[in-house]
Structure 1
Amino acid sequence: MDDISVMICDDSALMRNLIGRIVDETTGLSVCGKAENGQDLIEKLKTSKPDVILLDIEMPVMTGLQFLKKRKELHLDVPVIILSSVATEGAAVTIECLELGASDFITKPGASVTLKIGDVTSEIVEYIASYGGAYAAMHGKSIPDPEFFHHQIKLKEAERFVIKKKGEEAAKAASITKADVVPSTWFQPKVKEPVVITPEREGGKIELIAIGISTGGPNALRDVFKDIDPNLKQPVLVVQHMPAGFTAEFANSLNNICPLPVSEAKDGEPILGGHVYIAPGSYHMFVEHKPLGNFIKLSQDEPRNGHRPSCDVLFESVANIFKNKALGVIMTGMGRDGAAQITEMRKKGAWTIGQNKDSSIVYGMPKVAFEMGGVQKQVALADMAGEISKLAKEHLLA
């Protein structure tokens, strides 16, 4: 098996070393180079061939933003993940980076970043494995499935739990062995034959569309919403796993390319047809039915499946309220958030779509949903906008 090679670009030597240690301590990943700024990165790329670049934004000589502009001129196709503390204060800059071609972003934790880098270790590994893995595989490398890295993440979390906890909880956590979490060999998990579900009722008229998405989502949603039918009549509710402080800017960026109005959802607002609502970071979003209509509800209840917002929370409310009169869509993402409740939507007769393996940055969430029988049809990202638009038009309530 081959390693996913990583280039780290940050003006802080300490940060380069901290991130480099995370990479080198993860089986299947390796650092191929380090750069101090965007100009240094361009020079290093003449001899190094990374599968993914971790890029700081705020740097001397050439900023991350300036590098991304230069990257277009140089026709570089290596995926770039933004990693910067400025992102928490300048969400607009981060979203501009996405518009310039960055694949995704990870926020450095607060002021004591060197002390808290462990807080984002899982995200760093997940994003490198997802974006770098896809690029490496496309260029002929033999690499593990992203779920291999997901298992390593779970093992590290279990080990940290043992260190922090005492007594019975620690004993329970300590019983989680490496063999339980990380397979003994590299593996490429196969897709199981899906469970066959017989819905309680036939698919009805579509009154609402619900989309759940995670890793790979920012650019995938741009592809979907720039091509969505401008005459779409149903409301669209979207849960994208994204930190607090970024979803308003992300919604604004989608609003600039989508023919439908797009906004960050607000608690208690009525759900209007032909409008796209993005769940705010750190808030669950679900539907509440009242005599006067359907309304957005937000909550900061405990995370579900490790996420807030959670796709399962949205899908659960849609299944309960709309039953067979909805369309559920589950797209690229690691893990299983959304899989159980889109399956409940399908059981109640809702129409459901899942993104296919070849077009997913991580075929995790849609894979689990497919295996559970929750996906009627798998669709490539390039065809997703058309499929959603077609179903919405064919099953429109007159």
Structure 2
Amino acid sequence: MAKKIRVLIIDDSASVRQTLAAVLEADPEIEVMGAASDPFMAARKIQEEVPDVITLDVEMPRMDGITFLRKLMLQRPIPVVMCSSLTEAGSETLLQALEAGAVDVILKAKIGAADSLADDAIRIREVVKSASHARLPSVRRSEARSASAAGPAKKLTADAMLPPPSGRAMAKTTEMVVCVGASTGGTEALREMLEALPANAPGMVIVQHMPEKFTAAFAKRLNGLCEVEVKEAADGDPVLRGHVLIAPGDRHMLLERQGARYHVSVKTGPLVSRHRPSVDVLFRSAARAAGANAMGVIMTGMGDDGARGMLEMKQAGAYTVAQDEASSIVFGMPKEAIARGGVERILPLDQIAREVLLMQARS
């Protein structure tokens, strides 16, 4: 049998520890090796047995989670998934956690709500499994474990949101739109790519797997760092040169067109490829609406979300790029897109922005 992913839960709430353990152990690939009520107890457990993944609360007695995370990353890097409340302040704190080395985030408010745990349980397990494959600065995690998701629900494709492309995408014009998909490790990868773009860069739409409300704080942070304007997408927002729209957490984002102008549609809907927002939904909509006017970019992340949609974009005439393995925290999503034949070029992270600008110059 394949070795299970061993998880250490660190949270001062006994009810959260109990609920999170039950959610994780419902997956046969995961084993909760222990729980701790604060970082000092956790440090003792780590000395006895090193986990594959840690789930870490932000606010705890004696030492807060961010401080513990920074110490851990300096002394013994282990993939960490942060837990926080569903608040604006919590979102800002989690951005600090990602900068400090956390791999991903889950929401404590959702963990504690047993009556609304179905979709959330799927995401929690997927986040933890993705984290187990993350490449950290001093630690290389094996990708030998299966990347397939073993959630309790049927894995839906983009057919659940819109039918396949009809082959009648808009003809080539002078304006292009860039569609980007990312997951685990994507928050920092997107920051690096967007910081390298000038104020007149092509219009861009992004799906980054993350919880609701977190995307607003993420977009605000990027907007303060980048020359391009970055915002969380709202239904009907136009796609404009020098502007970046990020799909809101827990909502799908589709690219649509009226004449030669693009705008986004933000919708509810089922989990697609076990995600909401889904990269496959965005990419399929781009294949239908933009065709050869689009560029697709798939970046670091676990699983196969975006692989089908990227192939559809390529078949519709779009130019498609994948982040390479060496610069990806997790090479799952790019690897799947490459394997399905949807990728024209594979590039390291620090060359993707330049490629976007080269395509803009050619259009």
> Shorter chain as normaliser: what TM range?
0.7 to 0.9
Pairwise CA distance, 1:368: 3.2
Residue 175 of structure 1 aligns with which residue?
none
Residue 284 of structure 1 aligns with which residue?
252
TM-score by length of 1: 0.74
Determine if the alignment matches structure 1 residue 210 to structure 2 residue 179: yes
Residue 343 of structure 2 aligns with which residue?
375
2:233 partner letter: A
Rate the CA distance shift 1:264–1:144 in 2: closer, same or farther, 3 A: same
Q: Distance in 2 between matches of 1:201 and 1:289?
A: 9
Pairwise CA distance, 1:14: 3.4
The aligned length equals 347
1:388 partner letter: A
Contact 1:201-1:348 within 8 A present in 2 as well? no
Residue 83 of structure 1 aligns with which residue?
83
**In the TM superposition, what whole-angstrom CA distance separates every residue of 1:209-256 from its partner, at most 9, and x where no partner exists?**
110122332233233333x23355211110112222111101112223
**In the TM superposition, what whole-angstrom CA distance separates every residue of 1:337-365 from its partner, at most 9, and x where no partner exists?**
32223212211221101233454444443
Instruction: List alignment gaps of at least 5 residues for structure 2.
Output: 155-168
Residue 55 of structure 2 aligns with which residue?
54
Matches within 5 A, 1:58-73: 58-71=59-72
TM-score by length of 2: 0.81
Q: Distance in 2 between matches of 1:7 and 1:307?
A: 24
Determine which structure has more spread, i.e. the larger CA radius of gyration: 1
2:252 partner letter: H
Rate the CA distance shift 1:144–1:115 in 2: closer, same or farther, 3 A: farther
Q: Distance in 2 between matches of 1:17 and 1:68?
A: 22
Match of 2:229 among 248, 261, 275: 261
Question: What is the DSSP-based 3-state SS (H/G/I as helix, E as strand, rest coil) of the residue aligned with 1:297?
Answer: strand
Residue 324 of structure 2 aligns with which residue?
356
1:157 partner letter: A
Contact 1:11-1:37 within 8 A present in 2 as well? yes
Q: Distance in 1 between matches of 2:269 and 2:127?
A: 26
Q: Distance in 2 between matches of 1:216 and 1:78?
A: 14
Determine if the alignment matches structure 1 residue 4 to structure 2 residue 18: no
Determine if the alignment matches structure 1 residue 387 to structure 2 residue 335: no
Q: Distance in 2 between matches of 1:41 and 1:13?
A: 14
Rate the CA distance shift 1:85–1:238 in 2: closer, same or farther, 3 A: same
Of the structure 1 ranges 358-367 and 269-278, higher mean CA displacement relative to structure 2 is found in 358-367
Contact 2:122-2:274 within 8 A present in 1 as well? no
Overall identity of the aligned pairs, in %: 36
Q: Distance in 1 between matches of 2:320 and 2:141?
A: 34
Contact 1:214-1:332 within 8 A present in 2 as well? yes
Rate the CA distance shift 1:44–1:396 in 2: closer, same or farther, 3 A: same
Instruction: List alignment gaps of at least 5 residues for structure 1.
Output: 159-199
**In the TM superposition, what whole-angstrom CA distance separates every residue of 1:83-108 from its partner, at most 9, and x where no partner exists?**
23455873222223223321110113
Determine if the alignment matches structure 1 residue 238 to structure 2 residue 206: yes
Pairwise CA distance, 1:394: 4.9
Match of 1:326 among 271, 278, 294: 294
Rate the CA distance shift 1:12–1:360 in 2: closer, same or farther, 3 A: same
Pairwise CA distance, 1:42: 3.4
